[in-house]
Amino acid sequence: MKRWMVYILGCWALLAIAGCGKAESGRVIQLGHGLDVEHSVHKGMEYMAEYVDSVSEGQLQIEIFPNQQLGTERQCLELLQIGSLGMTKVSSAVLEGFTPEMKVLSLPYIFRDRGHAYRVQDSPLGEELLLASVPARLRGLAYFDAGQRSFYTKEKPVRQPEDLEGLKIRVQESATAMQLVSALGASPTPISWGELYTALQQGVVDGAENNPPSFYLSHHYEVCKYYILNEHTAVPDILLIGMPLWSRLSLQEQEWLQEAAAAATDYQRQLWQAAEAKALEAVQEAGVEIIRPDKAPFFEQTQHLLEQYQDEPAIYELIQRIKAVE
């Protein structure tokens, strides 16, 4: 507890704000996240910052702190809730602990393909899910494409679910992700993103799962020499603003911010596919074996995870609504 309080006070000292500050020309919002500056999601947020600065003629600005400078995804969410940070980007999986409805976005093979995922995100249902975190003092502004997550391992190639049995696989702090990995026979091990490289090096875990750009930009390919494109989930990233800050913005500022977030979503989607192709090519050149397994066994072994929500009518209804989106 003492360490956490020191951390919060340190962030306050660094930012000298309560989620945002005042520049000579207007308001400045601080945005913290954990990704590398070469990541397409970071570039999408840079585009948003440039857009909002332009549309507001400098009256509203966004200052971005990447690479976990302000804490892990969960820590940034907590800072948003108390008003010590303005905005953040997290995987929707991390939001499950704050907003139970978000777990539907982490379910295996819930989306038929990339286009289906986009149509869900752009639909009224997608907007509904973004606003589901408001009771937790968090407001979703936009989705960023985080691709499809696949397994990667250090020493053992995986070509079918049976090959995962007995392996320790790093997962996000997500009950849904843990259930998925367990259903495939592996042992899920939650570890923060910033600590994962060392955990892989030291053998704390045998592998992990993520999208190609994250696998590449994190340099995990230096340790893990097998990347298995089973594409079990398509968990989006979500751009959030803390409700303590949102409630202080004027209607005009809210409109500028929402408009900039929507523009950044379109821009980042254009970047993502090129980033995926570049990442796969780069890791293959570095000696990683790219395995393209038959996805059917992975699909079949995880579908019971969707059906178990029949006991939770609200979640099961969301699953059916996602499936019904054409």
The ranges assigned to domains in the chain are 2-147+236-276, 151-234+285-324
Would the CATH topology of 2-147+236-276 be identical to that of 151-234+285-324?
yes
pLDDT digits (tens, 9 = 90+) for 260-276: 999 999 999 999 989 99
Q: Is 102 in contact with 110 (CB distance < 8 Å)?
A: no
Higher pLDDT, 24 or 123: 123
Higher pLDDT, 13 or 92: 92
* pTM of the model as a whole: 0.85
Task: Check if CATH label 3.40.190.170 holds for domain 2-147+236-276.
Answer: yes
Helix (H) or strand (E) holding 241: strand 237-242
pLDDT confidence of residue 4: 45
* Residue located via tokens 């995922």: 117
**Average pLDDT taken over every residue of the chain:** 92
pLDDT confidence of residue 17: 44
pLDDT confidence of residue 173: 83
Higher pLDDT, 109 or 1: 109
> Considering all CA atoms of the chain, what is the largest pairwise distance in Å, rounded to the nearest integer?
60
Residue 2 has pLDDT above 80, yes or no: no
Residue 158 has pLDDT above 80, yes or no: yes
Region 301-322: mean pLDDT is: 95
pLDDT digits (tens, 9 = 90+) for 103-125: 999 999 999 999 999 999 999 99
CATH code matching the domain that covers 151-234+285-324, chosen among 3.40.50.720, 3.40.50.150, 3.40.190.170, 2.60.40.1580: 3.40.190.170
Q: With bands split at pLDDT 50, 70 and 90, how would you rate the model's confidence at 5? A: very low
pLDDT digits (tens, 9 = 90+) for 229-256: 999 999 999 999 999 999 999 999 999 9
pLDDT confidence of residue 3: 46
pLDDT confidence of residue 174: 86
pLDDT digits (tens, 9 = 90+) for 201-234: 999 999 999 999 999 999 999 999 999 999 999 9
Give CA–CA dist 94/221, Å, rounded: 24
Alpha helices in the chain (DSSP H): 2-15, 40-55, 73-82, 114-121, 124-131, 175-183, 196-201, 212-217, 243-246, 251-285, 296-302, 304-307, 313-324
Residue 19 has pLDDT above 80, yes or no: no
Percent of the chain with pLDDT over 90: 86
Helix (H) or strand (E) holding 141: strand 138-144
Residue 166 has pLDDT above 80, yes or no: yes
pLDDT confidence of residue 263: 97
Amino acid at 224: C
Percent of the chain with pLDDT over 70: 92
Nearest-5° Cα angle at 191, 31 to 33: 10
Residue 283 has pLDDT above 60, yes or no: yes
Residue 157 has pLDDT above 60, yes or no: yes
pLDDT digits (tens, 9 = 90+) for 74-105: 999 999 999 999 999 999 989 988 999 999 99
Tokens of 185: 């026979």
